[in-house]
Structures are given as structure tokens and as C-alpha cells.
């Protein structure tokens, strides 16, 4: 079991490493844009207010809102509202190590981010909105927003309802996360990784049809159900790992192909019948199950599930 956990972690790490090869940044400002050229690092409320007062709409570089310390959290109360004019970031957006970030309201007019979009290590209880954002050329990562001692951490992720293009989606280390109603316009992406949450159900991704790489849900003990209504293709593995409650209730009604079904160390899982028809129709190329309540191979599932 331990070796398999290490193997899955290595496979996911390889996926994330590959995702770091980003496409060239090539956004062009419109004639109406006010352009700032260079990377922007904002550490204090004064930094945010001063930069916001200049009313830039296009940043030709990265935007970081972060603690000045590379290791410690900032305790300063921060309000992003002065940044409401920003429309395009021709680079990445990083928001990290902030204990008292009051809201993300000032970034609600973002339309495109041409690098990674990362919210990590912030004591937020919700991430909401971003409903003008249609493109993230890099990865979207929302991670480790747990607050002090893991209490009152990030519980809700909602919005991103216009987002159609994103390289990979990583949601991990948000141990208080109970609601995920976001990314409902994404039709295709490379990898979706959901890890260390308190989610009971995953039923967003309403338009998702194609995952070029992997889909995985791990270390989410409350999970009981996954519904991906329009998913057709997973051209890597569809994996569940260390989810202690779920037993069946995985609905993929339009599935055409999964390269590998990979179930590992889900201690209550023994109901594989939801995959029986897909196995009969050769829609699932291979299956690996170890450390679950039961660990049947393809033939055993087909015998058991009529």
C-alpha cells in the first residue's frame, strides 16, 4: 500500500512538473489599456493602494500580493479593492502567505491571466467570483488555505463561471473545504487534482468533456459522490486514493474512454458495478485496485455486476 501511494505521488509530481513548461506569453494590450511593464510585488495596504491609484488595466509581467518574508505570514490587514481596474495580467498572479486578506473583490474585473493563477497559504474562508475571467494560460492552484491550526480555513470555492481555458487545476491542502461550485464552463484541461478536502460531493465541472492527463481525488474522507455529467475522455488515470467513505456513487454517463482506472487505499470501497458497463464496452483500458475494501480485477467486476 505504501509503495502504491508513493507511486501515485510520483505520477502526480511528474504531471505537475510537465505543466511548468508554459506557452510563450504573447498578450497584447488594447489601445485603451494603461500598461505597467514589469513584475509587481505588493506587500502592504499602502503598496496596494498606491499601485491601484495609478489605474493600470494591463500588467505586462507578474502580479504578486504576498508577505514580504519568504517563510512567514503577513499579519497586515489587506484589501484588494484598489486593484479593480486590472483587466489583464500578461504573466502570473500569486496571492500567498497572508493572514488578514479581507477579500479578493479588487480582482473581480480580471479577464485573462497568461501565467499561473495561485492562491496559497491565505486565511480566507471563501474564494468567490472571478466571473469575468475566461483564460488562465498556466495552472490554477488553490492550496493550503487552512488558517491557524486548520480552523476556519477555506470552506467555499465558487465562481469562475466564464473560465474556459486553463492548463491544470490543483485544489489541495484546503482541509476545511466543503463547497466546490466553480469551473463550470471548462470543457477541456490537462489534469484535475483535488486533495485534502472536506468535500462530500464533486458535481461541478458541468461542461467538462476532456481531461488530457489525469483526474484524481485524494485524502478527502467525507467524499461520498462524484458526478461528471459530460465527461467523455480521461487520457491518463482516473484515480481515487485514501478516501475513507466513498463506496460507488461515481456517475460518468457520457464516458467514452478512461486509459486507467486506479483505486488505492479507499477503505470502504467495494462497489465497482458503476464501471461494469464501461468495462464491457472496452471504454476502460485497464484497472488497478489495491488496499481498498475489495480489490477486484476486470474479470471479477464483470462476473459480479450483471
Total domains in the chain come to: 1
Instruction: Provide the sign of the torsion angle of the four alpha carbons 23, 25, 26, 28, taken in this order.
Output: positive
How distant, in Å, are the alpha carbons of 2, 50, 58, 89 from that of 33? Answer: 53, 18, 6, 12
Q: What's the rounded Cα separation, in Å, for the pair 185 and 137?
A: 15
- Is residue 169 assigned to a domain? yes
The pLDDT, as a whole number, for residue 149 is: 64
Place of cell 485544489: 171
- Is residue 161 assigned to a domain? yes
The pLDDT, as a whole number, for residue 71 is: 84
The pLDDT, as a whole number, for residue 19 is: 42
Q: What's the rounded Cα separation, in Å, for the pair 86 and 80?
A: 11
The pLDDT, as a whole number, for residue 8 is: 58
Q: What's the rounded Cα separation, in Å, for the pair 139 and 113?
A: 10
- Is residue 77 assigned to a domain? yes
- Is residue 143 assigned to a domain? yes
Q: What is the pLDDT along the chain (306 residues), one digit of tens a residue?
A: 444 544 455 455 444 444 444 545 679 999 999 999 999 999 999 999 999 999 999 999 999 999 999 889 999 999 999 999 999 999 999 999 999 998 899 999 999 999 999 999 999 999 999 999 999 999 999 999 997 766 779 999 999 999 999 999 999 999 999 999 999 999 999 999 999 999 999 999 999 999 999 999 999 999 999 999 999 999 999 999 999 999 999 999 999 999 999 999 999 999 999 999 999 999 999 999 999 999 999 999 999 998
Identify whether the C-beta of residue 38 lies closer than 8 Å to the C-beta of residue 61. Answer: yes
| E strand or H helix that includes residue 201 | strand 201-202
- Is residue 83 assigned to a domain? yes
Residue 237 has which C-alpha cell?
Answer: 488515470
Report DSSP state, residue 73: P
Q: In DSSP terms, which residues pair with 169 in a beta bridge?
A: 140, 192
Range of the domain at 188: 8-225
- Is residue 84 assigned to a domain? yes
- Is residue 239 assigned to a domain? no
* Residues present in the chain in total: 306
- Is residue 79 assigned to a domain? yes
Amino acid at each position: 500500500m505504501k509503495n502504491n501511494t508513493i507511486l501515485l505521488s510520483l505520477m502526480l509530481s511528474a504531471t505537475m512538473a510537465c505543466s511548468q513548461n508554459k506557452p510563450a506569453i504573447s498578450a497584447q494590450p488594447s489601445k485603451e489599456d494603461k500598461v505597467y511593464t514589469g513584475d509587481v510585488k505588493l506587500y502592504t495596504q499602502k503598496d496596494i493602494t498606491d499601485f491601484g491609484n495609478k489605474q493600470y488595466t494591463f500588467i505586462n509581467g507578474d502580479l504578486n500580493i504576498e508577505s514580504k518574508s519568504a517563510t512567514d505570514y503577513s499579519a497586515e490587514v489587506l484589501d484588494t479593492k484598489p486593484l479593480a481596474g486590472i483587466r489583464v495580467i500578461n504573466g502570473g498572479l500569486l496571492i500567498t502567505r497572508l493572514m488578514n486578506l479581507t477579500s479578493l473583490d479588487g480582482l473581480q474585473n480580471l479577464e485573462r491571466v497568461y501565467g499561473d493563477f495561485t492562491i496559497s497559504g491565505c486565511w480566507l474562508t471563501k474564494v468567490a467570483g472571478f466571473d469575468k475571467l475566461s483564460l488562465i494560460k498556466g495552472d490554477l492552484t488553490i492550496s493550503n488555505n487552512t488558517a491557524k491550526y486548520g480552523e476556519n480555513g477555506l470552506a467555499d470555492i465558487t465562481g469562475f463561471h466564464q473560465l474556459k481555458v486553463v492548463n491544470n487545476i490543483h485544489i489541495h491542502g484546503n482541509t476545511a473545504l466543503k463547497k466546490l461550485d466553480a469551473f463550470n464552463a471548462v470543457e477541456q484541461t490537462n489534469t484535475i487534482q483535488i486533495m485534502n478536502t472536506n468535500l462530500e460531493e464533486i458535481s461541478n465541472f458541468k461542461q467538462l468533456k476532456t481531461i488530457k492527463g489525469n483526474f484524481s481525488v485524494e485524502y478527502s474522507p467525507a467524499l461520498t459522490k462524484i458526478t461528471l455529467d459530460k465527461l467523455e475522455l480521461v487520457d491518463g488515470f482516473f484515480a481515487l486514493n485514501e478516501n475513507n467513505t466513498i463506496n460507488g456513487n461515481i456517475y460518468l454517463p457520457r464516458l467514452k474512454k478512461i486509459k486507467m482506472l486506479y483505486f488505492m487505499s479507499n477503505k470502504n470501497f467495494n462497489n465497482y458495478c458503476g464501471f461494469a458497463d464501461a468495462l464491457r464496452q472496452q471504454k476502460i483500458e485497464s484497472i488497478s485496485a489495491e488496499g481498498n475494501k475489495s480489490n477486484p480485477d476486470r474479470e471479477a467486476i464483470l462476473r459480479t455486476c450483471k
